[in-house]
Amino acid sequence: MENLEILLREVCEVAREAGRFLKEERIRFKQDAVKEKRVHDYVSYVDKESERRIVSALRSLLPEAGFITEEGSAVYQDEPYCWVVDPLDGTTNYIHNVTPYCVSIALRSRDTLSLGVVYDPSLDECFYAWQGGGAYLNGVPIHVSEVSCMESAFSVIELPYEAGRYARTGLHLIDCMYGRVAGIRMNGSAALAMCYVAAGRYDTWQEAFIGKWDFSAAALMVMEAGGRVTDFYGNDDFLDGHHIVVTNGRLHSDMLDLLKAALPGGM
């Protein structure tokens, strides 16, 4: 695809517009607007309206592309390209009026990520990358950290909604890492946690049972920033999976070794 960088600038503005809507709507947001899609997995009119706005804007930018969206307002029908959209990543954070939360938009072919944008309206931080073009935060190039030992790692252990299937893995990771790494956090936004790895703020992150909209844009960010993204088994073909490991590259084998001992069932 030609002119990826030009298209990327337009997508950044789409993400910023959606992010401004999220931030403004949060001021008058009411808990009774929340619905539960499944246990502890929430949605509201904000997610749906944000997605509607994003889909409409992206259709005008690239009419021939399909869509993979979290709230299902548009579909993918085997088009050569498709947009992968999370209109509000970090919904649980958002409805409880805490940060972070963000907008995430990726463009991919059937097997390749072309561009990615993740916008955090609370901090006005726009992360973006395009294939072969590097990764950036508000126009400044970003790179993963140089941490090379787990004892110095600042890591995210995210715990997905499927507690029954993932509890053994999550508890194993916490048991192995707590007191043995520099710090452990739970971020609540997969897209932003991955972007923080790309920017060198975090060193490792992993999560399972997540959707393509959660990780696609940020995965490109990490790779273009010099990091590594695989599935839990170390495979580089992760785009259509649901379990992802992200690191600065230097710690990737360590994270895969930790996961081997307690991979979640049903993977």
pLDDT tens digits, one per residue of 87-122: 999 999 998 999 999 999 999 998 899 999 999 999
| pLDDT above 90 as % of the chain | 78
pLDDT of res. 30:
75
Backbone phi and psi for residue 28, each to the nearest 5 degrees, phi listed first: -110, 15
Report the pLDDT averaged over residues 149-157: 97
Domains, the chain: 4-141 (3.30.540.10), 150-260 (3.40.190.80)
CA nearest 78: which of 68, 87, 93?
Answer: 68
Distance spanning both ends of the chain, measured CA to CA: 34
Q: How many CB atoms lie within 10 A of CB 64?
A: 8
Rg (CA), the chain: 17
Indicate the pLDDT class of residue 264, thresholds 50, 70 and 90: low
- Could you tell me the two tokens for 255? 């994270």
Backbone phi and psi for residue 51, each to the nearest 5 degrees, phi listed first: -65, -40
**Summary mean pLDDT of the chain:** 92
CA nearest 197: which of 127, 113, 101, 102?
Answer: 127
**Distance between CA atoms of residues 246 and 227, nearest Å:** 7
**Contact criterion met (CB below 8 Å) for 217 and 191:** yes
Look up the pTM and report it. Answer: 0.93
- Could you tell me the two tokens for 164? 């029954």
